[in-house]
Amino acid sequence: MDNIAGRKATLTWAVHISVAVLVVIWLLPTLGLFVSSFRTADQIATSGWWSALSTQKRMVPPIRVEGQERAEGDRFVIEGALFPEGGATVSAWGTSSRAPEAHAPGDVVELDDGQTLSVDATGAYVLSGPTSFEGQRLPRIFATAATPPQFTLANYRSMLFDPQNIDGMSKAFFNTLTVTIPATIIPILVAAFAAYALAWMDFPGRALLIAAVVGLLVVPLQLALIPLLKLHLGIGIGKGYLGVWLAHTGFGLPLAIYLLRNYMASLPRDIIESAKVDGATDFQIFMRIILPLSFPALASFAIFQFLWTWNDLLVALVFLIDSTGDTTVMTKQIVELMGTRGGNWEILATAAFVSIAVPLLVFFTMQRYLVRGLLAGSVK
């Protein structure tokens, strides 16, 4: 018995460690996306999100001296700053790409024609010369700077309030809601009635129907995309919200029926038999007893269906999106942003996090029902 107990303890620790590893694997990308959505483009380009709280030392792209010159005695002076917004500290600088760290902050460097250039630790520079700089090609400054941690809301302001972005993202957001909410409610309604019939009503062929539902769970949806689209076009549905609702309903029904049937079959038989003795019909039993008791299973499937539908791109491309772009969903809009703003990773990270904010809210709101619904019917 001691060996068995010890073995159980070892297996328990292995399960806990495996769950912790899986949680970390799933959590890290979301955390990285969240942190990157608050970082500037320069920070994303030069360092990873895991270093967002540390000071970053980076090579600054060469900056050409510019500014309004003024006369000071017998010399002409141009003053400016490498970092107008401030916040960076220069550790070394230079005037040539071959020696970008040749000078320390505060050094005064002699240039051609009697000109001098100095850069201090804040990035402020002073260019001085005996003659006017008008018409001359001014020197470039190469610098290595240390930047403290910086976070900004500018990415969200650009994504949510910039007219260039808001039209596409806001329309895609409401289009996604238009697809997701009915595509979650319809299969739950249909599957609830079917699950009750398969769990508590005796009729010929019930076992075959249950076996067919289980068999449909392993059928890839990609096999049905083109035939189903041809059917929609043949009966006049075409590409639109009705077509995508029916497609998501059909693809989600097998799991919904299987999950709800197992849960309803595990409910106490005495309750249903007592209701029938009191004269209740099957519809009354279903509405007043089965549905309230089956809420954990309904909520667990609603979580899965909502997440699948919200994050779907393939079904939306086949059954919904047309050339006008009026029915573009958020996943397609993000793909378009990648094509038009491929270098603006801060905008892409913000758009991606905005797209997962609603599913995260739904999941954390209803997650307490998830395990209860999934484990229903597993133990008698």
Quote the pLDDT of residue 134.
86
Please state, in angstroms and rounded to a whole number, the distance separating the CA atoms of residues 290 and 295: 9
Q: Which residues pair with 109 in a beta bridge?
A: 117
Q: Which of 41, 39, 72, 37 lies closest to 54 in space, CA to CA?
A: 39
Are 60 and 89 contacting, i.e. CB atoms less than 8 angstroms apart? no
Q: Please name the amino acid found at residue 240.
A: G
Instruction: Quote the CA–CA distance of 97 and 144 in Å, as a whole number.
Output: 12
Class of the CATH domain delimited by 156-374: mainly alpha
Q: How many CB atoms lie within 10 A of CB 300?
A: 23
**pLDDT for 144-160, tens place per residue?**
888 888 888 888 887 77
pTM listed for this prediction: 0.69
- In this structure, the strands spanning 108-110 and 75-81 are unpaired
- Where along the chain do its domains lie? 2-36, 55-147, 156-374
Sequence-separated (6 or more) residues with CB below 8 Å from residue 155: 37, 38, 346, 347, 349, 350
Q: For residue 118, what are the β-bridge partners?
A: 108, 126
What residue ranges of the chain have pLDDT lower than 50?
1-2, 5, 377-380
H/E segment holding residue 248: helix 241-265
CB pairs under 8 A, 24+ apart, for 342-347?
344/41, 345/36, 345/41, 345/44, 345/45, 346/36, 346/37, 346/39, 346/40, 346/41, 346/44, 346/155, 347/155, 347/158, 347/159, 347/165
Alpha-carbon distance of 295 to 193, in angstroms, equals 14
pLDDT digits (tens, 9 = 90+) for 337-379: 766 555 677 778 888 888 888 888 888 887 777 666 555 544 4
Phi, psi of 69 (to 5 degrees): -80, 155
Please write the tens of the pLDDT for every residue from 280-315. 888 888 888 888 888 888 888 888 899 899 988 888
From the centroid of its chain, how far is CA 365?
18
SS3 annotation, 257-308: HHHHHHHHHCCCHHHHHHHHHCCCCHHHHHHHHHHHHCHHHHHHHHHHHHHH
Q: Where are the beta strands (DSSP E) in 24-183?
A: 56-64, 70-72, 75-81, 89-94, 108-110, 116-119, 124-129, 140-147
